Structure 1
Amino acid sequence: MSALAKYLLACGHEVSGSDRAAGERTEELSALGAAVSIGSNAGNPRLRAADVVVYTSAVPEEDEELTAARESGKTVWKRSELLKAVSDAFSHVVAVAGSHGKTTCTAMCAHILESARVPFAAHIGGEDSELGNFYMSGHDFFVTEACEYKKNLLEVEAEKAVLLNIDRDHMECYRDEEELVDTFRRYCGKAKLAFVCADDAKCRGLGDFSTFGIDAAGADYRASELRQSGEKYSFTVSEYGKSLCRIRLNAAGRCNVYNALAAFSVMRSYGFDEQEIRQGLESFRAVKRRFESIGSWTGASFICDYAHHPREIAATIATAERMCRGKLYAVFQPHTYSRTKFLMGDFVKALRPVKNLMIYKTYPAREYYDEEGSAKTLARNVGNCLYAESIRELMTWLKTTLQPGDIVLFLGAGDIYYAAQYLLRELNK
C-alpha cells in the first residue's frame, strides 16, 4: 500500500491515512508529505475530507474508519481496485504473479526498464536495494506484482503477464487447489500475452501460453549452460532455440535464474535489445529480506529471509547450509494461523531437519488466534526444537551458543525481520 501512496503523492494528490503502529513505512510517507495517524478513529477529520478511502486486506471489516467511511457514503476501494486505477494511467502494464518470486522478478523487470532508459514506474512488494518499493520516471511502462490472495490478481488489467509458479498458498481464499489453478489460468488468459514457467507442471497445464524454463527443452525462452560461483549463477539465454547472450547474476540462488529468465522473456517481447536486458539483470543486487545479511556478532552471521512457505523455507535452509562453516541456527516465525494449519505437515517436513531450531510466536496479520495453526502447535509437531514468545528468549538462546562461523537464519514474512535487527543491535552493545 505504501508504494501506491507514494505514486499518488508523486502525482500531486493529497494523501492521508492511518496504520495500527508507527514504523519505517509511516515515517517515510510522512516525510514525503502524507498525513499519517496511528490507530483507527472514526472521528478522524482527514477521513471526512477524503474523496476516496482505500483499505488493505489486513484491515478488518469492522474497523472504525472503514465503517465510518462506508456509512458516510464515501467511495471505498480495496487496494486491488486502486492498483487497477493506477495501472490504467500507463501505456504498457506488466504484471508478475506466482506463489514464489514475485517481488524479485518485478524488481528485475524494473532494472531492465531503467537500463533501457524508458519512462516507467515500478510497484514492488518488497524493498529493492536501489529502487525501493516504488520508483517512477514516467508513464510509459508500469510493472507490478499481482497477488493471488482473495483473487486480487484478477483485478489487474495487464497487457503482458508473467506466471512464475503455482503452489498451495492462501488456500483459505479458495475452495480447493483446482480453483486456485483456475484463477491463475484466468489471470494469464486476460493478458494479451502471458509467459509461464514450462518447468512447473501446474503452469504447463494451463494452456497455450509463451514459456520459459531451464529443464524444458521446448521452452520459448530457455536458460542453459548454468555455472555456479558460490551461490551465484551465470547462464546462456536462448530465444526460440537461438542463443542470445550470457548473463551473470549478482543475486544468489537457482530460483533467481527463473526470476531473471521470466523478466528477460517479457521484456524481450517489447523489443528491447538483449544487451539492455542483460545489463539490467546484472545490475540487480537484492531485495531486502531475500537472504539479506544484516550483520554479525562474535563472528556469527545474521541473515534474514522472507521465506514463509514450506517450499521457500526448505530452499533457503539448503542455501544457508551450503554456505555455513560452523553450525546453522534457524528462527522461524509462522505467518498467519490459516497458512500454518493448512500446510502443517509441509512445515514440519521442511523444518524438522534443522538441528538448531527456534519457532517464534506467530505473526497473525489479519487473523485471530487459532490453536491448531499456532506456532506452539507447530513446535510440538516438529519435535526437537525450542519455542520463544519474546526477543529476550531468542537472545538468551543465541548468546550462550553462537560461535565464529555460525549462521543465524531468521525466516518469516512478519515482524521477525525487525526483531532480528533489534536483537543484533542489543548483542553488539
Structure 2
Amino acid sequence: MHVSVVGLGFVGLTTAACLAYKGIKVTGIDIDEEKIKMISNNLLPFYEPGLAEKVTQSLKRKDLMLSTDFETLSSSKVTIITVGTPNKNDGTVDLSYLQQAAESVGKVIRKKLDFHVVALKSTVPPGTALGIVAPALERTSGKRVSEGFGICSNPEFLREGNAIQDTLYPDKVVLGIIDKKTKQIMLTLYRQFYYRYKVNLVEVNLQTAELIKYANNAFLATKISFINTIANICQQISGTDVEKVAHAIGLDKRIGPLFLKAGLGYGGSCFPKDVAAIIGIAEQHGYSPDLLKNTEKINQLQPYKAVELLKIMIPDLRDTKVAVLGLAFKPDTTDMREAVSVKIIHALKALGVTVRVYDPMAINEAKKILTNSVLYCKTMKECLSEADACIIVTEWPEFRKLTPHMLRKYMKNTILVDGRRVTSPNTFVGKIAGYVAIGHGN
C-alpha cells in the first residue's frame, strides 16, 4: 500500500508520519515550498510531542517522501486530503483550499489506469464530499465517482499534545463510504496500519461521517462549558469545590471523568471553529441549536473570570504589574489559536496593567499576536519578579511547582489566581496575601 497525504499541517504531517512509522510508503504533498524544506531538514513548523522523532526516522528510512508536486501522488493507491477548512467571518466554512486540492488530485487521477481512492480527513460540513469534492474530481479527472475513483470521508479526532497516541491507538475509526471497492481498499489500509490493535470501526454514509466530527467536538465543548458553569456556581458557595464535584459525577458511567476539568475555557484550532460551524450548519437547515449557542457563549465569557476574581482582591488594577503564566491554549503545544490568554491580557491592558508573560514553549508564537504590548520573560521566576499578582492561564507541569515560599520570595504582593487548578487551595489559602482558584468557594 502506497499512500499520499495532501496538506502537511498538524493533521496531515501527523498522519503521514504515523503511517510511515508503521512501514507504509507515504508521499507527503504541500504547496508551501518553505514548509517542505523545513520538514526535510527535520525542522517541524509546529511542536507536537514525539512527532519530530517519527518524521526523522521515516525520512531516513525513505518510508516518507516529501514534495510540492501533485504528480508524485500518481504511484499511490489512496490520497488523504487534510487541508485546512477555516471559518469565514460570517461563520460559514471556507472550502476553497479543499476544492483546489481536489482539482489538483483529479488532474493526476486522470492519467491513472487503476482505481484511486480519495479520503477526506479535513473537517467539512455534511454534503461536502458529494456536493463539492466529488464534482471537482470528476470535472478534472474525466472519470466518474465509484467507477474511475472512490471517495471516502475519514474524519480525524486528534488532540494537540497527544496526536501520536490518538493516531496509533484511536477510540474509533469512522469511514463514510458509498461503494464496495473504496471500502475494501480503506479496510486493507487500516488492517495493515492497525495490525494487532483492535480498532472500533464505524461504517456510515458520507454525510453522517462528516457530521460525526462536528458532533464529537461539539459534545466535548459542551461538557467543558458545563463544568465551567458548575465551577462558577461553586465560586459563590463557601466550602464547595468543583474538583470534588467533577470527580464524583465523573464516576457515573453515563458521564465519565474526561473533559470535566474546570478552567478558563477551551481554545485551539478545533473546538471554537467546529462549534461555530455546526451552529451555522444547523441554522442553514432551519434549526436553532440553542444548547450549542450557550456552550459557545459560556466559553467566550469564561476567560474573563480570571480578571473578575483578581479585581475582588485588587479592586483598582491601574499601574499594577501582573504575571501571566501560560500563553498556549493548552500544554504540550505552541498553538496560540483562540488561546484564552489573549483575551485575559487584553482585558488587563485595558485596566492599565503592566503585563509580564511566560510560557515554556509558546513565546515566539505569542509575539506574533501580542507584539510589544507585554513584557516577555524567559523563566517563571523572572515573570513573578516584583509582580503585584499572578494568574495561571495554562496548566504547564512546571506551574505545579509553585509554593507560597516562592511567591513570597519573588513577588511584590503575593496574590494568586489559579485559572487552571494546578495548585492546591490547602497549600495556599492563608499562606499568601490573596488566593483564589476557579471553582473553589473560599
Q: TM-score, normalised by structure 2?
A: 0.33
Q: From the two aligned structures, give the one with the greater helix fraction.
A: 2
Q: Which structure shows the higher strand fraction?
A: 1
Larger radius of gyration: 2
